[in-house]
Structure 1
Amino acid sequence: MIEVLQALGDGNPAISLAPLFDAMLEGVVVRDAHGRVVGCNRMARRILGLPSGDLLAGGLLAPMPDYLREDDSILRLDEHPANLTLSSGEALHGVVLGVVRAAGEICWINLNSQPLRDTDGALVGVVETFADITPMKSAQAALRAAEAHNRTLAAAIAQAGCAVVVTDRHGRIEYVNPACCRAYGYAEEELLGAKPSIFKSGETSAEVYAELWQTILAGRVWCGELSNRSRDGCLIRESVSVAPLRDEAGVVRHFVAVKEDITQMRAEERRRHELFERVARLERMELVATLSSGIAHDFNNVLVAILGYSELADAHLKVDGRLPRVEGYIDEIRIAGNRARGLIQQLLDFSRSGTAQPRLTQLESVGREAVGLLRATLPDSVAVIDEIERDLPALSVDPAHVYQIIMNLLVNARDAVNGRGTIRVGARRVLAADCPVCASCRREFDGEFIVLSVSDNGCGIPLSNRSRLFEPFFTTKEPGRGTGMGLPVVHGMTHLYDGHVRIESEPGGGTRVEVLLPVVLTQVPGIDSPTALGA
């Protein structure tokens, strides 16, 4: 090689340094002033993928490979750095080229071209030195791909609809995505360094949190639901997945939590469940009403015979001479028969098989008549307070139905105070807003109503019994004191007029029952004479 360089110069002989050039770790190619290759070392042949040995043929290194730019386009021969140096006389450094080897594989090199001049400064050739940078290029490509992948991943997390929280092993927040900030109403800087307990609502038990930490500290993924609270106090129900993040050694260093807001979904599920319960309840009550109607008519025929023969037996005893004991038995038969007849009437009323005779009725008159009747049967230790407003509009209802509704509620209140307490009976005109829910049919309602209310300060209704209050024959009273038909009858008669029922009760704190009859019942054409019960 040194002989080649010397030959290009002044032609003086020199000591052969070819073994030194062959030992170099860089490829070296020498060209004359015409661009012909006149020499190369062993590393050049290896990098360029050329056969070993003397490859000089007519002053050319044959065959020369194709070169590529960094954008993978073909490099023209006149654009090769050696030719550019020969044409300009300027050295070029750090030019990255791709070498297309004979097998089609590409080797990337970092090439420098240096002009060679004689003692007079005339350009006599160029020397190229280059190093194989293929591993570095591969690493750079892998790095760029990894960076692009990480950018995509970061963008996906940042733009995700679910809240993402990354904490260290001790639970301090190191990252939150914008969805998390939107969900909880905090700025990012407020959350960084804080702990997820900032979201706690108090609705999730300590046992759930203990299980969560036990699971993730053991290196496993925890999935479940948590109730958290936003900055403005709104409760958020979330489906949460918390996973441990390990380092290269497999040690858990961080935790990532992905949270999906399922508040609306759970609310929809509750509404669907309530709707299902409402439909099931109505279907059950309709079924009982149908059965009750059929049973009541048949049983009523049996009662006619029982009561009729009781009257005949009593009449014969009076003719033949009194037998006090037998007469007492017959009296008990008549009492039981009349009680059964009253129950049958309630069943018929509940099934709506009775004939309603609506007419304009003054509710305050019916209410005060019922209060007067109840007072006559109560001891002095029970106070009945009349809170019925005056000048209420007359409603087009059957006064017998209104009377029975009020009496059923009064009897329940009487039994609740158990001989000592206060019963209040009220009636007023109200506007129902915010869509309250009927206690018996479970529908929401609104509008203007006349409210009949009966309240007491008695024993109250246990929470476990609230859902069954309107089931026929369900009663919490001791045997002989209740049939379980009072509130079902109230339900049937109230809804006959598109009304609704509301109940407020606390165990040991009394009960208040409201029957709401719509004011539109006043709009009945052709009726102009309000009546009270029996008018």
Structure 2
Amino acid sequence: MADNQQSKRELQGQEGLSPLFDIMLEGVVVRDGAGRITACNRTAQQIYGLSAAELEGHTPENLPVDFLNEDGSSCPPDQHPAMVTLRTGLPQRGVVMGIAHPGRDPVWIQVNSQPIADSAGRISSVITSFADITPIKRAEDALRASEARNRTLAEAIAQSGCSVIITDSAGCIEYVNPACCKAYGYSEEELIGARPSIFKSGETTDAEYAGLWRTILAGETWRGEMSNRSRDGRLIREAVSVSPVRDESGEVRHFVALKEDITQLREDERRRHELFERVARLERMELVATLAGGIAHDFNNVLAAILGYSQLAATQLKQDGGGARALKYIDEIRAAGQRARELIQQLLSFRRGGAVQPGSAALAAIGREAVGLLRATLPDTLAVVADIDAGLPRLAVDPAHLHQIMMNLLINARDAIAGIGTIRLTARRVSIGDAQRCDSCGHEFRGEYVAITVTDVGVGIAPEHREKLFEPFFTTKDVGQGTGMGLAVVHTMTHLYDGHVRVESEPGKGTAVQVVLPARLLQEGAAA
């Protein structure tokens, strides 16, 4: 009876406070000792989204809403702060929880619960007050999500394989990622505060830099390729993107540069281009060789008739006492025919590579013979010198091929000198340790070789002509002074024996052409 009277007095007191409850900005709910709602103010009804009739008489367990913990997980009814206070007698402060209606976003509240004791000191009820913190909670969640995104972005930039550089609006570096430091060989401390010009290679023009700045200062993104240089002087070819970064007002405050090292890509492209060019050149040479071979056989027959009949005509004129002028004309015809026959022989040699005859060649003897033949054609202003290692054994090659190689190189050297000069023919054994590339076939080679080199002090070879040197019929000589077959024949004869050709030349300072034949062709024990 006493308890009922006490409850009535509490309810009457609460009813007297009802006007005060309703003007409070916080929600207030009073629960009895069993956790049932006995009173609630208007703010509590608004926050819950339920009327007083839907709230009163209900415990957290049978309310038509779900409760959530701060992390979004489900909150059991017995963990509601009011129920914890009733169970423990301890007040709860600042508990964040959510009120969830089906199909609606949760309302987030911050709850305080305070126990109310009766005259005997027993917990007879509990009062909870709470404020709607949904906007704050959403802002915190958004902030946490933004921070998570920023952390992810920072980690992605830090771990990116591309170099990332962020500068202020004046172009001073404020951030570099580890990939940038690794690519250029600088520490982060050395780059912060510096300017991107620290990477300049000297190969990017001022006009290109000016175009970059015009683009990014106009608020647009610049994309292109640049050659930069690392700390140790290594040249780096990069694909670069530079973008402006604006603040909330649209003002450009920073620039971000993304750089990808494409040095190897460009090198691979260059090598592929060289390979395609070599294949195309070889295909052209094969086509010309096929055509030349077909023409040469027929033309050789015509020349045989020209030379034969001119010989008969000369003999007949001499017997008949013909005039000296007519004999001179016939001699010129025979000389021209002989030159044409030599050209045909070159064409046939180029077509089939010559018939490889078993045997051996005395390099020194063939060299002396070739030099002697050339010396007979030289003016007084030119000299030819042979410097052949006398200790070289004989070579297992066709002597005719070796003679053709030497004569073609010597004749080219002679024609390259316009004035006073010396032509030098050398031959010696060499060891090639570092890989070198053949200028006629493009393959790399190294090892033990016999090197035959002809050096002149002539006009040299222009850079634009180097790619065509070994093509048949290509010549830089005046009309009538060259057939363009010399180096094409050298290429063919040399590669019959797995040899290679190297050309070193500087315009105005002369040329050195070196033919290398594998040392395995040396016939050890066979005197030269």
Going from structure 1 to structure 2, the CA distance change for 1:24 and 1:393 (only over 3 Å counts) comes to same
**In structure 1, how many angstroms separate the alpha carbons of the residues matched to 2:287 and 2:10?**
122
The AA in structure 2 aligned to 1:424 is R
Structure 1 stretch displaced more, 195-204 or 38-47: 195-204
Q: What residue is the counterpart of 1:435 in the other structure?
A: 435
Percent identity of the aligned residues?
61
Q: Map residues 47-66 of structure 1 onto 2, 5 A cutoff.
A: 47-51=47-51, 56=56, 65-66=65-66
Retained in 2: the 8 A contact 1:8–1:124? no
**In structure 2, how many angstroms separate the alpha carbons of the residues matched to 1:84 and 1:290?**
102
**In structure 2, how many angstroms separate the alpha carbons of the residues matched to 1:306 and 1:489?**
26
Retained in 2: the 8 A contact 1:49–1:102? no
Listed one character per residue, the Cα deviations across residues 391-447 of structure 1 (whole Å, up to 9, x for unaligned) are 112101122222222122222222222241111111111012211111111111112
Retained in 1: the 8 A contact 2:37–2:57? no
Retained in 2: the 8 A contact 1:204–1:226? yes
Q: What residue is the counterpart of 1:93 in the other structure?
A: 93
Going from structure 1 to structure 2, the CA distance change for 1:403 and 1:509 (only over 3 Å counts) comes to same
**In structure 2, how many angstroms separate the alpha carbons of the residues matched to 1:367 and 1:339?**
22
Q: What residue is the counterpart of 1:508 in the other structure?
A: 508
Query: 3-state DSSP class of the match of 2:384?
Result: strand
Query: 3-state DSSP class of the match of 1:253?
Result: strand
Unaligned runs of 5+ in 1: 1-5
Going from structure 1 to structure 2, the CA distance change for 1:421 and 1:17 (only over 3 Å counts) comes to same
Q: What residue is the counterpart of 1:338 in the other structure?
A: 338
Deviation at 1:107, TM superposition (A): 1.5
Listed one character per residue, the Cα deviations across residues 227-266 of structure 1 (whole Å, up to 9, x for unaligned) are 1222222222211222221212222211222222212221
Retained in 2: the 8 A contact 1:9–1:117? no
Query: 3-state DSSP class of the match of 1:203?
Result: coil
The AA in structure 1 aligned to 2:142 is A
Going from structure 1 to structure 2, the CA distance change for 1:17 and 1:315 (only over 3 Å counts) comes to same
Going from structure 1 to structure 2, the CA distance change for 1:193 and 1:8 (only over 3 Å counts) comes to farther
Going from structure 1 to structure 2, the CA distance change for 1:102 and 1:312 (only over 3 Å counts) comes to closer
Retained in 1: the 8 A contact 2:310–2:330? yes
Listed one character per residue, the Cα deviations across residues 371-401 of structure 1 (whole Å, up to 9, x for unaligned) are 2332233233222233222211210112222
Deviation at 1:347, TM superposition (A): 1.1
Retained in 2: the 8 A contact 1:293–1:353? no
Query: 3-state DSSP class of the match of 2:297?
Result: helix
Query: 3-state DSSP class of the match of 1:361?
Result: coil
Structure 1 stretch displaced more, 388-397 or 14-23: 14-23
Deviation at 1:516, TM superposition (A): 1.0
Q: Map residues 195-210 of structure 1 onto 2, 5 A cutoff.
A: 195-210=195-210
The AA in structure 1 aligned to 2:439 is A
Q: What residue is the counterpart of 2:27 in the other structure?
A: 27
Going from structure 1 to structure 2, the CA distance change for 1:203 and 1:47 (only over 3 Å counts) comes to same
Give me the CA root mean square deviation.
Answer: 2.8
Query: 3-state DSSP class of the match of 2:38?
Result: strand
Retained in 1: the 8 A contact 2:223–2:240? yes
Q: What residue is the counterpart of 2:421 in the other structure?
A: 421
Going from structure 1 to structure 2, the CA distance change for 1:10 and 1:152 (only over 3 Å counts) comes to closer
**In structure 2, how many angstroms separate the alpha carbons of the residues matched to 1:270 and 1:11?**
93
Q: What residue is the counterpart of 2:189 in the other structure?
A: 189
Q: What residue is the counterpart of 2:158 in the other structure?
A: 158
**In structure 2, how many angstroms separate the alpha carbons of the residues matched to 1:60 and 1:473?**
102
Q: What residue is the counterpart of 1:3 in the other structure?
A: none
Retained in 2: the 8 A contact 1:359–1:530? no
**In structure 1, how many angstroms separate the alpha carbons of the residues matched to 2:511 and 2:99?**
94
**In structure 1, how many angstroms separate the alpha carbons of the residues matched to 2:304 and 2:141?**
101
Query: 3-state DSSP class of the match of 1:515?
Result: strand
Going from structure 1 to structure 2, the CA distance change for 1:358 and 1:111 (only over 3 Å counts) comes to same
1:283 is aligned to 2:283:
yes
Query: 3-state DSSP class of the match of 2:356?
Result: coil
Deviation at 1:40, TM superposition (A): 1.5
**In structure 2, how many angstroms separate the alpha carbons of the residues matched to 1:386 and 1:360?**
20
Retained in 1: the 8 A contact 2:40–2:52? no
Deviation at 1:296, TM superposition (A): 1.1
Listed one character per residue, the Cα deviations across residues 90-124 of structure 1 (whole Å, up to 9, x for unaligned) are 32211122223476542111111123346776644
Query: 3-state DSSP class of the match of 2:442?
Result: coil
Deviation at 1:29, TM superposition (A): 1.4
Q: What residue is the counterpart of 1:347 in the other structure?
A: 347
Listed one character per residue, the Cα deviations across residues 440-459 of structure 1 (whole Å, up to 9, x for unaligned) are 11111112111111111111
1:217 is aligned to 2:217:
yes
The AA in structure 2 aligned to 1:328 is K
The AA in structure 1 aligned to 2:405 is I
**In structure 2, how many angstroms separate the alpha carbons of the residues matched to 1:530 and 1:60?**
114
Listed one character per residue, the Cα deviations across residues 313-333 of structure 1 (whole Å, up to 9, x for unaligned) are 222322333234433322221
Going from structure 1 to structure 2, the CA distance change for 1:145 and 1:56 (only over 3 Å counts) comes to closer
**In structure 1, how many angstroms separate the alpha carbons of the residues matched to 2:413 and 2:307?**
31
Going from structure 1 to structure 2, the CA distance change for 1:68 and 1:383 (only over 3 Å counts) comes to same
1:67 is aligned to 2:67:
yes
Retained in 2: the 8 A contact 1:440–1:500? yes
TM-score, reference length from structure 1: 0.90
Going from structure 1 to structure 2, the CA distance change for 1:59 and 1:366 (only over 3 Å counts) comes to closer
Retained in 1: the 8 A contact 2:37–2:55? no
The AA in structure 2 aligned to 1:498 is D
Number of residue pairs the alignment of both structures matches: 523
Query: 3-state DSSP class of the match of 1:445?
Result: strand
Q: What residue is the counterpart of 1:319 in the other structure?
A: 319
Q: What residue is the counterpart of 2:401 in the other structure?
A: 401
Query: 3-state DSSP class of the match of 1:258?
Result: strand
Structure 1 stretch displaced more, 120-129 or 399-408: 120-129
**In structure 1, how many angstroms separate the alpha carbons of the residues matched to 2:458 and 2:295?**
34
**In structure 1, how many angstroms separate the alpha carbons of the residues matched to 2:497 and 2:420?**
34
Retained in 2: the 8 A contact 1:158–1:179? yes
Retained in 2: the 8 A contact 1:37–1:61? no
Query: 3-state DSSP class of the match of 1:223?
Result: strand
Retained in 1: the 8 A contact 2:408–2:487? yes
Q: What residue is the counterpart of 1:481 in the other structure?
A: 481
**In structure 1, how many angstroms separate the alpha carbons of the residues matched to 2:156 and 2:252?**
24
Deviation at 1:297, TM superposition (A): 1.0
Deviation at 1:17, TM superposition (A): 4.8
**In structure 2, how many angstroms separate the alpha carbons of the residues matched to 1:320 and 1:515?**
52
Retained in 2: the 8 A contact 1:432–1:447? yes
